[in-house]
């Protein structure tokens, strides 16, 4: 019985199924009219940034005035792979007004880099091997987790688990990233 439960858990964690296709390449160019802090995010497109919680909090402070969407992901997370194309498209569509950041938690740098090569995004991700950055937004328990900060820098909502479709993510961005 215990062995059967372990097998079921392993299958669930693997994400069951094929990897979704990437939403396409990243240009690294900020949309016209983007504020300087948003332009800086585009300048760091698809990069893995060190610095831990302090660097993450400093970036959030720099982004006050813009709403922020933070996606916690890992290369080994099947549901993260499923929803990552949604973040690729939403960041391209809304990146002139909404800041997007990634947090690569509980992962190793090499696997994270390969993941970003497969799913490039027009925003940077913070390295978070020990899950201390994710604790800053109540995201330590589940993969994936998405946090929404309002333009005043206040944590507005935390969505734990996968977005089933892009429309649900877009609705949460409209609702919480103001």
For residue 8, tell me if it sits in a domain.
no
Asked if the structure places residue 76 within a domain, the reply is: yes
For residue range 120-172, list pLDDT tens digits in order: 999 999 999 999 999 999 988 999 999 999 999 999 999 999 999 999 999 99
With respect to residue 3, please indicate whether it lies within any of the assigned structural domains: no
The 3-state DSSP class for residue 7 equals helix
Domain of residue 139: give its range.
Answer: 20-176
Q: Is residue 112 in some structural domain?
A: yes
Report yes or no on 47 lying in a domain.
yes
Instruction: Express each pLDDT in 100-112 by its tens digit.
Output: 999 999 999 999 9
State how far Cα 45 lies from the chain centre: 12
CA distance 169 to 76: 21
Count of domains forming the chain: 1
CATH number of 51's domain = 3.40.30.10
Between the alpha carbon of residue 51 and those of residues 34, 58, 75, 78, 113, the distances in Å are 25, 10, 20, 26, 17
In a domain, 10, yes or no: no
Pick the closest to residue 110 from 79, 83, 76, 143 (CA basis): 76
Residue 100 domain-assigned (yes or no) = yes
Domain contains 9:
no
- pTM of the predicted protein model: 0.84
């Amino acid at each position: 019985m215990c062995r059967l439960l372990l097998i079921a858990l392993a299958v669930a964690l693997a994400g069951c199924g094929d990897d979704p296709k990437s939403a396409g390449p990243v240009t690294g160019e900020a949309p016209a009219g983007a504020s300087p802090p948003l332009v800086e995010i585009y300048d760091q497109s698809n990069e893995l940034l060190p610095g831990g919680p302090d660097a993450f909090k400093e970036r959030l402070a720099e982004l006050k005035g813009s709403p922020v969407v933070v996606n916690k992901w890992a290369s080994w997370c099947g549901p993260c792979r499923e929803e990552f194309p949604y973040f690729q498209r939403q960041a391209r569509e809304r990146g002139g007004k909404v800041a997007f950041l990634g947090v690569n938690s509980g992962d190793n740098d090499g696997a994270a880099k390969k993941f970003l090569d497969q799913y490039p995004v027009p925003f940077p991700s913070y390295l978070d091997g020990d899950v201390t950055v994710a604790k800053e937004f109540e995201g330590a328990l589940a993969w994936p987790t998405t946090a929404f900060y309002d333009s005043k820098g206040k944590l507005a909502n935390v969505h734990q688990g996968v977005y089933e479709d892009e429309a649900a993510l877009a609705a949460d961005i409209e609702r919480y990233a103001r």
